[in-house]
Amino acid sequence: MTTIETKSVHTAQMEERSIRSKVMPIYQTSAFAFSSLEELEGYYEGNGTYLYSRTANPNTDALGQTVADLEGAPKGVSASSGTSAILAGILSVVKSGDHILAAEDVYGGTFLLLKQELALMGIQVHFADFSDISAVEQILIDFPEVQLIFSESITNPFLREEDIEVLSQLKKHYQVKVMIDNTFATPYTVKPYEFGADLVAHSATKYLGGHSDVTAGVLTGDAELVTLAEKRIVNMGLNLSPFEAWLTIRGIKTLALRMKAQTENAQSIAEYLTTKTKVWYPGKGAIVSFEVPESIEVPAFFSSLGWIKIVPTLAGVETTVSYPYGTSHRALSEEEKEKVGVTRRIVRLSAGIEGKDDILEQLAAAFA
């Protein structure tokens, strides 16, 4: 199996030898039973796999390895959310006293994690404009304490494509690690590990799950680092439930089909919006960001979207819009919002799988 279309359908599956289910069962259990104390002791000696679902479960294991296979990475691990996966990945590399270099235009929730929560752990974060590689390199020169470079393959909400190969060249020269959030792009569009990233994180809540009915995260990448991250997930209680892992794997089976349809719709939406206003779209992926023109009142525009729902998230099969100023980047100061360009007129649209003409007709009605 070489294509993502085939790999995503034939996801990792652990079979019961006596009952050969076509679909992997849900191991909805908090713990696993042992037939004797000898068998229990054998687990701790390395002769068993499962003890307690916080430490490991067949469904969560299968999800981690499924996404790793799609990313072309050796190992993956599941987590309770995308933020949990990012945190575990960070803590597999840095410790108190270390520094991180991060893109200034990352998702608002990630920005707060990096700026506020890591500071409580004694970890310092430097933010930079990653479109200016000379500025990025200067920070690496000025702060040899930097151990990790963090960015997104396609940034949120202005959809800047990260040059992962350039970051990977910097990591080799300055002996640091690179971590990429691949949520927006998904392995359908780009595989950061194959471009030199050490760790690749996903909010599986978005495109991997794909149906807006699960909250999950996955971290893939270098086997040694992912193993360390797995320990953080276990010890910090960042584990995913078996049922949500099962739901996410079910969603992944249609990842390629959904991404193809959503990307095609996004391209058409971007072309239409360009005739109306300023648009951000990199030519790939299913997210389009745009600016509500000055001639239109922002609340009126949102109220005129009809069946296009206003939500704080993205990537479901329905076309939706979000309001970064009031949701994803709400907690940023006015100065921080202004610096990255998140104004009250920015809209982030997530293209669904509906008929293209229906989406365009509804957007036209809102602009009218």
Report whether 65 contacts 249 (CB < 8 A). no
Question: 255-274 and 356-367 are packed helices; what angle lies between their axes, rounded to 10 degrees?
Answer: 40
Q: Write down the pTM of the prediction.
A: 0.94
Which residue has 């000379």 as its token pair? Answer: 134
The predicted structure's pLDDT at residue 14: 54
Where do the H-state alpha helices sit in the chain?
A: 4-9, 37-42, 58-71, 82-91, 108-112, 118-120, 133-142, 164-174, 186-189, 223-235, 242-252, 255-274, 298-303, 334-340, 356-367
Poorest-pLDDT segment among 55-59, 231-235, 323-327: 323-327
- How remote is the C-alpha of 131 from its chain's centroid? 21
- Choose the final residue of a domain: 202, 224, 252: 252
Which one of 235, 252, 269 terminates a domain?
252
- Residue 49 and residue 27 in contact, taking contact as beta carbons nearer than 8 Å: no
CATH of the domain at 267: 3.90.1150.10
Range of the domain at 42: 4-252
pLDDT tier at 1, thresholds 50, 70, 90: confident
State the Cα–Cα distance between residues 155 and 89, nearest whole angstrom: 18
Q: What do you get for the CA distance between the two ends of the chain, in Å? A: 48
Express each pLDDT in 201-244 by its tens digit. Answer: 999 999 999 999 999 999 999 999 999 999 999 999 999 999 99
- 173 and 143 in one domain? yes
Of 201, 227, 252, which closes a domain? 252
| Count of structural domains within the chain | 2
69 and 176 both lie in a single domain: yes
Q: Judge if 282 and 219 occupy the same domain.
A: no
Summarised one tens digit per residue, pLDDT across range 336-360 is: 988 889 999 999 999 999 999 999 9
| Domain shared by 244 and 107, yes or no | yes
